[in-house]
Amino acid sequence: MIRPASGEEHHSEHSHASGHPHRHFDETTGTWFEHEHASKSQPSVIELYEPILARNDRLAERNRGFFEAHGVRALNLMSSPGAGKTTLLEKTLTSLPAGSAAVLVGDLATDLDGRRLDGRGAQVLQITTGTACHLDAVMVAEASRQLHWEGLKLLLIENVGNLVCPASFDLGESQRVILFSVTEGEDKPLKYPPVFHRADLVLVTKTDMAAAAGFDRELALENLAIAAPHARVIELSARTGEGMDAWLAWLQG
């Protein structure tokens, strides 16, 4: 007769409803003894309170530390598709000291934007996400490995054109710049609270088209004061050059 030597062996000898006391006959001592099995199915709760995107946040912090250690200011540029991010960057790169800036461009497909920015004195890397509607810290970390950091002062990250999803993903940037064009309507800031409420700078673009679009400037600025109360606002036109001085001054300040 096999005597139970340990709890584990005992469990494997027989099965029974867990958590209930029962009696075994011990042949050595000739006695009945009772025991309870520690129930294997005892529900327990693990309390957490941790961000679901903690893994992205951790990597973003690592990116942030890396950029700061290299003296590089990283900017996350977000907007709806077509607000003018790439055109603004075309004009911007031409005005910055050669070699002082690098650009990471995010798109679902094509390297068209990346190629538009080539040859303007900055390192340009295209990130094609495939299906992802936003850039995340992993993509930025991997792309950053291909950059040369000597002499770099500015890292401009052109996010995927999307005013919703990018808001949830910290990339490790120093600041967030949101673009919205006069053709998108003055209520835009109110419609996209998450992205506007974390903006450090808002650029109102394509001001040269404001009259044609019937843009209500006063209302737009009022809405921005509500949706992005802590953001600086600069109105500009990359095409005519209006406001570009203020933008460049902010960039290099």
Partner 1 sequence: MHESVVAGELLRTVEERARAAGAARVIAVGVRIGALSGLVPEALSFAFEALQVDTFVAGAVLDIERVEALCQCELCGLVFPVEESKRRCVACGIPAPFVPNSDCLLLTRVEVE
Residues 188 and 38: their CA atoms lie apart, in Å, by 60
User: Residue 58 Cβ, how far from partner 1 at the closest point, in Å?
Assistant: 12
**Which secondary structure element, helix H or strand E, spans residue 83, and what is its range?**
none
The count of residues interacting with partner 1 (CB under 8 A) is: 35
- Pick from 51, 65, 82, 121: which binds partner 1 (CB under 8 A)? 51
Q: Any contact of residue 54 with partner 1 (CB under 8 A)?
A: yes
- Pick from 8, 12, 20, 43: which binds partner 1 (CB under 8 A)? 43
- Pick from 14, 29, 49, 130: which binds partner 1 (CB under 8 A)? 49
DSSP state of 82: T
- Of the pair 164, 212, the CB lying nearest partner 1 is at 164
Which residues, including other chains, have CB under 8 Å from residue 129's CB and lie 6 or more apart?
A: 106, 107, 108, 135, 139, 160
Q: Say how many C-beta atoms besides its own lie within 10 A of residue 231's C-beta.
A: 22
- Of the pair 89, 199, the CB lying nearest partner 1 is at 199
User: Residue 138 Cβ, how far from partner 1 at the closest point, in Å?
Assistant: 11
Site for partner 1 in 79-138 (CB under 8 A): 132-134
- Of the pair 152, 231, the CB lying nearest partner 1 is at 231
Q: Any contact of residue 69 with partner 1 (CB under 8 A)?
A: no
Residues 126 and 143: their CA atoms lie apart, in Å, by 8
**Considering Cα of 148, then 150, then 152, then 153, what sign does the dihedral take?**
positive
Q: How far apart are the first and last CA of the chain?
A: 85
Q: Say how many C-beta atoms besides its own lie within 10 A of residue 89's C-beta.
A: 23
Query: In whole angstroms, what separates CA 64 from the centre of its chain?
Result: 12
User: Residue 56 Cβ, how far from partner 1 at the closest point, in Å?
Assistant: 8
The tokens for 233 are 């606002």
Q: Any contact of residue 16 with partner 1 (CB under 8 A)?
A: no
Residues 248 and 253: their CA atoms lie apart, in Å, by 8
User: Which listed range, 113-121, 138-146, 204-212, 221-229, lies at the site for partner 1 (CB under 8 A)?
Assistant: 221-229
User: Residue 16 Cβ, how far from partner 1 at the closest point, in Å?
Assistant: 17
Q: Any contact of residue 40 with partner 1 (CB under 8 A)?
A: yes
User: Which listed range, 24-32, 80-88, 185-193, 238-246, lies at the site for partner 1 (CB under 8 A)?
Assistant: 185-193
Rounded to 5 degrees, φ, ψ at 124 are -125, 125
Q: What residues make contact with partner 1 under the rule CB under 8 A?
A: 40-56, 132-134, 164-165, 167-168, 187, 190, 193-194, 197, 223, 225-227, 229-230
